[in-house]
Amino acid sequence: MRFTIARGGTILGLLLGACLAALPARAADQAREAVGLFVQSCLKHVEDPADLRAWIAETPQLRKFPQKQAQAFLGGKRGDVWSAENDAGLFALVVFADDTCSVIAQQASADQVSLVLSEYLRRKGLPLDKIGDRREYVQGVDQREETYRTNAGRLPYEVVVVTSKSPRAEVQAMLTTRPNR
């Protein structure tokens, strides 16, 4: 599966744009919140999707999107989508039927997202090796895609971090875990 900022951009722009414009937040806070939600959900429960669903059910801050709105995030695939809001902004948690899990932030500093995640991985000593780091333009918007892979644990998986510094990007960060099958 190819990850791009454009995939979720228009969706978040339509569903969350008006709310985000009103929220005061610093870039570092947005990055910490996006990575924090990703770590607590997708990364922590990557080996056990049932635990992820239980965590979601026990987290009252998450609001499930109606199926019609969720389809905009899912791109025709099966899954569910939740929104999370706090003082730093609005974020989407997307869980696909194939156990791929993403956190999407409309606004978050690309550099800060990468820095916060890499510091977390280093601090926790997670067995993730960076296997890719590329920059490209997709639909005229710059983006960076960092890929990490592990073969440790019960389920080998990948972490893909797609960020953009472009003010034209409707989504500036998407962090994803996916089984490495």
How confident is the model over 63-96, as pLDDT tens digits? 999 989 898 889 899 999 999 878 777 899 999 9
Distances (CA, A) of 94 to 46, 140, 154, 174: 13, 25, 23, 10
User: Residues 153-180: what's their mean pLDDT?
Assistant: 89
Task: Write out the E strands in 58-119.
Answer: 62-64, 79-86, 89-96, 101-105
Determine the structural domain holding residue 130 and report its residue range: 5-179
> Which residues 6+ apart lie within 8 Å of 17 measured at CB?
106, 170
Cα(93)–Cα(175) distance, integer angstroms: 10
pTM, rounded to two decimals: 0.83
Give the sheet arrangement for strand 173-179, strand by strand: 62-64, 79-86, 89-96, 101-105, 173-179, 157-163, 141-150, 129-138
How confident is the model over 14-26, as pLDDT tens digits? 333 333 333 334 5
Cα(74)–Cα(61) distance, integer angstroms: 21
User: Residues 45-60: what's their mean pLDDT?
Assistant: 94
User: Residues 47-71: what's their mean pLDDT?
Assistant: 93
- How many structural domains does the chain have? 1
Other Cβ atoms closer than 10 A to 47: 15
Q: Which two tokens mark 61?
A: 């801050």
CB burial class (10 A; 0-12, 13-18, 19+) of residue 157?
buried
As a whole number of Å, the end-to-end CA separation of the chain is 12
Phi, psi of 160 (to 5 degrees): -120, 125
